[in-house]
Structure 1
Amino acid sequence: MADKRGVTIRELAQAAGVSIGTVSRALKGQPGLSEQTRGQVLEIAQQLGYDVGKLRTGKPRRMLFLYSRHVGSLASNPFYSYVLHGAETACREAGVPLSLMSVQAGEDIAGLVRRHEVDALLGVGYFAAEAMEAIRRCELPLVLVDHFYPGVRCVNDDNQLGAWLATKHLLDGGAQRVAAIFGPMTHYSVSLRAKGFRRALFEAGRLFDPDYEVTLDPALEYRDAGRDAMQRLLALPERPDAVFAYNDSTAIFGIEVCREHGLRVPEDIRFIGYDDIEEAVHSKPPLSTVKMDKEALGLVAARALIEGDIEPSEASLPVELVIRESSRAAPSAPTAPARKARR
């Protein structure tokens, strides 16, 4: 006979051949399942002696906004501050208290989560595989924002399209040597933005040159890493005449370096970022960027947890190209009309 105290929802899902979300819906009596699937899950739960009392019914009593300390504090990362605001809005509307916690590699994540006594987890940003497994072992409803993990509901913006739009804008404006600055390629959003960048080059018939694609040095502080990346691009035998940066902050750091080298933006080198943070509007010159509704990312994810919509899937929110002074092409010199050939 099965040990009733040791059966987990993960084991029950594996035995039934369904996702954890499907098991949760079946045991809570929520809609969206066939009667055959619901009956199968309930039968296997009874066979294994699963304690149905482990699952609370209805909306969560408390939600935890969980992010990795790897991305820095919320104060130093404006993007995630907007996501937090969106999640807070959804929780306030539903009357669900929202807690906040950062974690880092090597910590007892499951133990830290238990101390918050929450019913649902909203994971934001990149988590390494080891951290993700620790989060999954908490056996709480989970939705991820700005990340992807198999078997989990994820909410992202259309990263690949956004990077493609940004790079195409630079190419269409006449840029000949378009460079890119990226963060760690292990991050889901960064890897997709790199794909969008390369796709735009390919479709424009440009050969991909790895020298014009640099990544931030993880050993440096964030601002120093952005400046260092731009220094490396300017040290190339032929410096780029346009740069796509994977986020706005990195683009702003790059513009700083170019001005220190006596380069004019956009006359000598053009820039476009990603995220449309508030600083992008006030940078000098104002920064072109790819805009997405950052608060909507948190709002959609939190509402999914509140409504119990945690089936594995990926929601992709739309993006928009925002053109400002930093990427505008210099006006072409007027050309004399072509002479008609004499007959």
Structure 2
Amino acid sequence: MSRKVSIQTLADQLGLSKYAVSRALSGKSGVSEATRSRVLELARASGYRTSIAIAKPDNQESPDDSRESSFVLICMKQQNRGEPNYWERVLSGMLAACEERGWLHAIVSPPQELSPADVPAEQLIAPHVHWDQCIGIIVMGAFPYPLLQRMADIQLPLVLVDHQEPLLQCDTVRHDDVNAGATASTFLQSQHCRRIGFITDDGRSASFLQRRIGVQLGVGGDFLQQGTTLLEWQVPYERGHWGDEVLKSLEQIPEDERPDGWIGANDDIALEWMETLQKHGYSIPEDCRVIGIDNVWGASLSSPTLTTIQLSKEELGARAIEALERRLHRPGAPVETIMLSTRLIPRKSA
């Protein structure tokens, strides 16, 4: 983990009180079993050490000593390494799940450009590992199809995380990003927002595009007859410092037609935009409401605290390892797409 996980951290991520999380972790009464399970699952995936022993199911075998040197190959882009708000958290859940099973891991960043076809795929992807001890490949995020095809050619179980490739027959684990976008836009409309602004960067990832589709579906849903309008801004998210450009565009719109509710395609966008608005005299949530998608660490620390859609990042990583384990035990089973649900975390910005 890139930061210490505390009870307050768990509470912020789950939208619960610190008191409720503390009682769940200590095994005391006062919380439902469903809440206790949620708390313990996130604690385990986040690397938080509790005094409660989380028992394995009776039918789960102990790690096979004969496979103690077996490892999972985890492929992630170099620029995503050390990124604390998303990929490092997904990775932490993945590594915790590997540790539970007694599996080792190796993390590599395969080159985006393919070598000549006569170079073996193993040599291209990870030339320094012992492939005879590799039990499967986990791919984090989007990689070019030709590279993914070379990975599939290795004939090891392959699991894609937060990416889907229709041309490959492999298991996939991702968030329900369409639902996240739809929840964000529907919630703003429930707060009487009828002019919604959406700030995104479709070129960054497939998940951003899926969230955009969800926002559009939400605006075109139950509130369609109430005259909700949607305005969209594409920004260079990776470059940063785009807020002033959006503000200039906003000021060209008549004041009574400007959005009274804003959605960021992720929390970073929502937080930067909220700061820009406040710098130029807008009061939040009095003048307009702001909501993000992700539930990053900083969302609960902003002023006002950011309403957001929870994405279970550590659980995403853990589920990828579970999908790999299932594929090892049932190699002939149908390919699965596992889609984790999202959840609204209401705070003060909306």
TM-score by length of 1: 0.69
**1:180, 1:214 within 8 Å by CA — same for their partners in 2?**
yes
- Out of 300, 318, 322, the residue aligned to residue 345 of structure 2 is 322
Corresponding residue for 1:263?
282
**2:299, 2:307 within 8 Å by CA — same for their partners in 1?**
yes
The count of residues paired between Structure 1 and Structure 2 equals: 265
The one-letter amino acid paired with 1:64 is L
The one-letter amino acid paired with 1:63 is V
Deviations 1:34-54 (A, max 9, x none): xxxxxxxxxxxxxxxxxxxxx
- What's the offset of the Cα at 1:289? 0.6
- 2:107 counterpart of 1:91: no
- What's the offset of the Cα at 1:244? 0.9
Corresponding residue for 2:145?
129
Corresponding residue for 2:16?
none
- What's the offset of the Cα at 1:77? 4.5
1:212-251 correspondence runs (5 A): 212-217=231-236, 221=239, 223-225=240-242, 227=243, 230-231=246-247, 234-237=250-253, 238-251=257-270
Unaligned stretches of 5+ in structure 1?
Answer: 1-56, 328-343
- Larger mean Cα displacement after TM superposition, 130-139 or 143-152: 130-139
The one-letter amino acid paired with 1:99 is A
1:184-333 correspondence runs (5 A): 184=202, 187-203=205-221, 204-205=223-224, 212-217=231-236, 221=239, 223-225=240-242, 227=243, 230-231=246-247, 234-237=250-253, 238-307=257-326, 308=328, 311-327=334-350
Per the alignment, do residues 76 and 58 of structure 1 end up closer, same or farther by CA in structure 2, a change over 3 Å counting? closer
**1:272, 1:288 within 8 Å by CA — same for their partners in 2?**
yes
Q: Which has the larger radius of gyration?
A: 1
- What's the offset of the Cα at 1:185? 5.2
- What's the offset of the Cα at 1:230? 3.9
Per the alignment, do residues 161 and 73 of structure 1 end up closer, same or farther by CA in structure 2, a change over 3 Å counting? closer
2-side partners of 1:67 and 1:76: how far apart?
11
The one-letter amino acid paired with 2:241 is D
Unaligned stretches of 5+ in structure 2?
Answer: 1-65, 116-120
The one-letter amino acid paired with 2:80 is S
**2:90, 2:315 within 8 Å by CA — same for their partners in 1?**
yes
1-side partners of 2:170 and 2:306: how far apart?
35
**2:80, 2:87 within 8 Å by CA — same for their partners in 1?**
no
1-side partners of 2:241 and 2:147: how far apart?
27
Per the alignment, do residues 228 and 135 of structure 1 end up closer, same or farther by CA in structure 2, a change over 3 Å counting? farther
- Larger mean Cα displacement after TM superposition, 198-207 or 278-287: 198-207
Identity across aligned pairs (percent)? 25
- Out of 84, 88, 113, the residue aligned to residue 126 of structure 2 is 113
1-side partners of 2:135 and 2:151: how far apart?
13
